[in-house]
Amino acid sequence: MPRIEIIEQAGDGVIAAWLAQRLRAALAQSPEIAISVPGGSTPFPIFDLLANEDLPWERISIWPGDDRIVEEDHPASNVGKIRARLEPVGAQIVPLAEDARPPHFAIAWLGMGDDGHVASLFPNTDPKADDPHPVRRLTPDPLPPGAPFDRLSLTLPALTDSDEIMFVIRGADKRAVFDAAVKGENDLPVARLLRAARHKVTCFC
């Protein structure tokens, strides 16, 4: 398991500033970089703050780690909401497709569900660290009532093909699941990802 740094009680501004610093460091090493980002409700206030950072956005490609299979203008679309926030500042937003070939990511930013899922790798999908496919179409079971859709998701090998991984996890219940995964006390998707990760993991809790 990689080195894991826990940063407690970090607000959205702290996370956005940290992420901007990490993007600048990556851009100092490469003319173009790619990152993957989560959906759900947590990241979008951070995106809004990040969009105000003075970054060469035209050099940054942004991939959703997963998305619901809906039109981009649907309220449940992750890529539509990401595009609305970060395309105006110049970032290239790359929608997921089943035949996509994701690049190496400078940063893979993830959230986590109460059941330990990451991206749309829910426990029922039995994600594998050696999955030969970088993107999969998946059906969560049970379907989340707030978003009852099939998903496209980056797989564990695509997510761990990154220089570093970051999590933003809110709430005591999720923190307990994450801590148990770090200790090897469960085999949920988050635990499988942590075991497969090759580089530093930072968790804002």
**Three-class secondary structure of residue 53 per DSSP:** coil
Per DSSP, helices labelled H in 51-96 are: 78-86
Alpha-carbon span 73 to 171, nearest angstrom? 30
Please report, for the chain, the start and end positions of each structural domain, with discontinuous segments joined by +: 4-204
pLDDT of amino acid 144? 84
| Band of pLDDT at residue 11, cut at 50, 70 and 90 | very high
Query: What's the CATH code, domain 4-204?
Result: 3.40.50.1360
Check whether 17 has a pLDDT greater than 80.
yes
pTM of the full predicted structure?
Answer: 0.94
Alpha-carbon span 144 to 42, nearest angstrom? 17
Alpha-carbon span 28 to 32, nearest angstrom? 9
| Band of pLDDT at residue 48, cut at 50, 70 and 90 | very high
Alpha-carbon span 205 to 203, nearest angstrom? 6
Q: What is the pLDDT of residues 176-195, one digit of tens each?
A: 999 999 999 999 999 999 99
Q: Strands 151-154 and 66-68, how do they pair?
A: antiparallel
pLDDT of amino acid 3? 87
Q: What is the pLDDT of residues 51-85, one digit of tens each?
A: 999 999 999 999 999 999 999 999 999 999 999 99
**Residues 19-35, mean pLDDT to the nearest whole number:** 97
| Band of pLDDT at residue 98, cut at 50, 70 and 90 | very high
